């Protein structure tokens, strides 16, 4: 279980396989463990790197505030120390937001980027947006992380045959500590890269699940602003598509990487 000190924090990461480096970045409340289906597949042909972002998993949990650019700075140092060539960066949700920043702020480190189920802006301005954001904050503060995990699991894994996935997500979510989770959630509040997308010079694949939180129209809009952007939709899937339909997701990502 390798650890590295990054910006004064003990940061956990894993490396498996050999070949061109592929870095997977998890979402809010998640960890390296949620990429297990991808590690098993991509380690056959690539050097696969996964890491727990600050405040998550086995990485240190310093006091906030956090920011998405801070997550990217942490990951960039990991890349610099462990990779001798640019990496393929694959992110889900908040991890995809981090991938955006890596592509923009550290272009020499990123060979391609896969943005999975993530907006390019997270405004918390309208009544509906504020209601959704503060409902999550209050759920965590009043009822704890397990309750938050149960709510999220019921939203992303709705099908009767997905009970095992719901239980797994709830159990893993319950392991999060409140303060770093809320600091990470706050990092997404009013975050945006909409005005910087034209600066991304690497090939980008935007993956949209049919039942994702973020609408397809928004993803079509921002994909057009990325010079080498491409959008693909996965039918009948929700936000955590890499766990819900790993075979389909892996094939799409594998084909994209092979083309670049």
The yes-or-no verdict on residue 154 having pLDDT over 80 is: yes
| Whole-model pTM over 0.75 | yes
Does the residue 142 lie in any domain?
no
Contact assessment for residue 177 and residue 64, using Cβ atoms and an 8 Å cutoff:
no
User: In this predicted structure, what is the pLDDT of residue 162?
Assistant: 96
For residue 50, tell me if it sits in a domain.
yes
Reply yes or no on whether the pLDDT at 7 is more than 90: yes
The predicted pLDDT at position 84 comes to 86
Do the domain assignments include residue 36? Answer: yes
CATH code for the domain in which residue 29 is found: 3.40.50.1820
User: Per-residue pLDDT for 89 more than 80?
Assistant: yes
Round to whole Å and give the CA distance between 26 and 18: 21
Query: Does residue 108 lie within any of the structural domains?
Result: yes
- Please list, residue by residue across 133-158, b when 16 or more beta carbons sit within 10 angstroms of its beta carbon and e when fewer do: beebeebbeeeebeebbbbbbeebbe
Q: Is the pLDDT assigned to residue 231 strictly greater than 70?
A: yes
- The boundaries of the domain holding residue 252 are 3-122+192-258
Count of the separate structural domains present in the chain: 1
């Amino acid at each position: 279980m390798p650890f590295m000190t990054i910006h004064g924090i003990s940061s956990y990461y894993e490396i498996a396989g050999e070949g061109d480096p592929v870095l997977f970045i998890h979402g809010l409340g998640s960890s390296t463990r949620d990429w297990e289906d991808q590690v098993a597949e991509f380690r056959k042909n690539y050097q696969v790197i996964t890491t727990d972002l600050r405040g998550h998993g086995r990485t240190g949990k310093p006091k906030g505030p956090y920011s998405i650019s801070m997550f990217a700075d942490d990951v960039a140092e990991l890349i610099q120390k462990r990779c001798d060539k640019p990496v393929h960066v694959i992110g889900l949700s908040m991890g995809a937001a981090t991938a955006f920043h890596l592509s923009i702020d550290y272009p020499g480190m990123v060979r391609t980027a896969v943005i999975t189920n993530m907006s390019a802006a997270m405004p918390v301005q309208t009544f509906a947006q504020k209601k959704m954001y503060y409902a999550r904050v209050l759920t965590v503060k009043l009822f704890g992380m397990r309750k938050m995990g149960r709510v999220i699991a019921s939203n992303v894994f709705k099908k009767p045959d997905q009970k095992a996935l719901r239980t797994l997500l709830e159990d893993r979510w319950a392991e999060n500590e409140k303060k770093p989770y809320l600091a990470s959630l706050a990092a997404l509040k009013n975050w945006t890269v909409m005005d910087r997308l034209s600066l991304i010079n690497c090939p980008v694949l935007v993956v949209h699940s049919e039942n994702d939180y973020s609408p397809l129209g928004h993803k079509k809009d921002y994909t057009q602003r990325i010079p080498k952007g491409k959008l693909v939709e996965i039918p009948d899937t929700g936000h955590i598509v890499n766990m819900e339909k790993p075979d389909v997701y892996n094939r799409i990502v594998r084909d994209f990487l092979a083309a670049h």
